[in-house]
Amino acid sequence: MSENAIQFKSVTKRNQGYLDKVSFSLPTGTIMALIGENGAGKTTIINTITGLSDIDGGEILLFGNNIAGINAEERNRIGIVFDFLPFRETFSATEVAYVLSGVYSAWDAAKFAEYMRRLHLIPTRPIKEYSQGMKYKLQLACALSHDADLLVLDEPLANLDPAAKEDVMSCLMEYMQDGNRSILISTNTPSDVEPYADSVTLIQSGKVIVSSEKDALYESYGILRCGSEDISRIDASDIVAMRRNSFGAEILVKNRRSIAERYSGMIVDKATLEEILIFHLLKNSEVI
């Protein structure tokens, strides 16, 4: 088995979505959070993986093979949850399962029925009567029911209440127990997936800003908090982005341990994924 489930090598796309030399790798057996604001390029990345969109340059590898040359059986190793519903809404979940049993050679009807039960979905009910969150959960039940080695999930938690999110993440953590499976999960709400992700890729305006193991991000990034009178003490080269408030400023920095030593007396906290995303969004608009 390839050491990477997905690898992007300088992938460029100019039409129907924009990507600028995007490079990152999802190691086999791990979960990557693909984070960024709406329109950043997350769905475009997913569309290129799932075959809904072509690229203009670079290379995408799935399980070590160029995506352009993989066959239908290899594509069946991917379970997908789109940001739109790919099924006819006049169908019931039972009818969807019947169709998919003819598509996937490894379709497991018993497993599908169990996921429907766990996700509190009525299989005989027409999909048009499902809420938006229920439609996402149906897609997930389908993705988990054909022995996929890779799950590609586009904002699967966006329309779920806290209890439903817990149900979904419980199913995903179970899926990962195999040890050879991988998940790429996109979100514009990093806190939803932060506890579960092994690595993080932050994309902004079609460009990868950072792609790293989560623990390495925690070790590097920090939030320096200081009063108004101390802002001038901070070297501009130490500032990734800054947010001013009535008391002073919060500043995203790298190499937080050395920053804490350099500016003794100032507080430097670990940065959450949400803070890293927010401050990078501020970066181009904040004068520092």
Which range among 10-14, 48-52, 70-74, 202-206 shows the weakest confidence by mean pLDDT? 70-74
Please state, in angstroms and rounded to a whole number, the distance separating the CA atoms of residues 41 and 151: 18
Q: Look at residue 234 in the predicted model and tell me its pLDDT.
A: 92
Average pLDDT for residues 226-255, to the nearest whole number? 91
Q: Which domain holds residue 253?
A: 221-283
Contact (Cβ atoms closer than 8 angstroms) between residue 152 and residue 120 = no
User: Is 288 a member of any domain?
Assistant: no
Contact (Cβ atoms closer than 8 angstroms) between residue 92 and residue 128 = no
Same domain, 117 and 246: no
Contact (Cβ atoms closer than 8 angstroms) between residue 127 and residue 138 = yes
Q: Dihedral of the CA atoms 61, 64, 69, 98 (nearest 10)?
A: -90
Please state, in angstroms and rounded to a whole number, the distance separating the CA atoms of residues 201 and 209: 8
Chain position carrying tokens 């401050």 = 279
Please state, in angstroms and rounded to a whole number, the distance separating the CA atoms of residues 25 and 109: 32
How many domains does the chain divide into? 2
Say which residues have a Cβ less than 8 Å from residue 260's Cβ, sequence separation at least 6: 222, 266, 268
Contact (Cβ atoms closer than 8 angstroms) between residue 44 and residue 7 = no
Going by the DSSP 8-state scheme, the letter that residue 176 receives in this structure is G
Q: What is the pTM of this model?
A: 0.92
Same domain, 77 and 38: yes
User: Is 23 a member of any domain?
Assistant: yes
Residue ending a domain, choose from 181, 211, 241: 211
Mean pLDDT over each residue of the chain, to the nearest integer = 92
- Between 14 and 264, the more confident residue is 14
